[in-house]
Each structure stands twice: as C-alpha cells, then as structure tokens.
Amino acid sequence: MGKYLRNCYKDYTVNLSDYDYSLPSELIAQHPLKDRSAARLLVVDRSTQSITHRSIADLPQIINPQDVLVTNNTKVVNARLFGVRTETGGQWEGLFLEPCAGGGWLMIS
C-alpha cells in the first residue's frame, strides 16, 4: 500500500505505516453474528485505567449518562485497482474509498 492519502478538499501527507500491524485473517469477522447481542465489547474504565471484555448485551448496565459512546459504521468498498505506470513500468495499486463532489475520489494509493 502507498504512503499518502489525498483528501477531496485539501492535500496532506499521511504515513500509512503508522497504521500497519499484524492481524491474523482468522481474527477478522467476515459475517455478523447471528445473535447480535453476543457481539464483543471492549470497556475502558478511565477512573481505574482498567480494560475489560464484555458483550454488547451488557451495555445498558455499563453506560452512565455522562459517558460517551463511540460507534464505528464503516464499510469496505470493493474498489481496489492494480496497474502499471506508463512512464516507468512501476506497479501501482489504488484503493478508491468514496466519491467526492466534482467527480474526484478519496483514495489511498
């Protein structure tokens, strides 16, 4: 994967190696659980600096009115492209993330 991220509105550099880590493929969920309430939940207690593993069914007993609940609603778009640069013959890989206004794309290359 490349080293730069292009924002639809402003160019800036991101070192993607900062996000590289080893994750065995068997640990990546391919399908949602049949019983969604059995989904795993990582709970961080900032007052005790403890981390516990619970299930989403425990959420009503865990959360307090002043707590912040952060959710992740991301999806993977099947838009990976492989190519060869005409000038150098170098290989190119791009992952198109989402369309931008004006016809461009947010992408990682």
In a domain, 82, yes or no: yes
> What pTM value is reported for the model?
0.44
In a domain, 79, yes or no: yes
In a domain, 24, yes or no: no
In a domain, 101, yes or no: yes
pLDDT tens digits, one per residue of 12-64: 566 667 677 788 888 878 788 899 889 998 888 888 989 999 999 999 999 88
In a domain, 42, yes or no: yes
Structural domains counted in the chain: 1
In a domain, 23, yes or no: no
* Contact criterion met (CB below 8 Å) for 19 and 2: no
Q: Residue 41: beta bridge partners?
A: 54
Q: Which domain holds residue 49?
A: 5-16+35-108
DSSP for 11-79, written as a single string? EE---GGGG-----GGGS-SS--SSGGG-EEEEEETTTTEEEEEEGGGHHHH--TT-------------
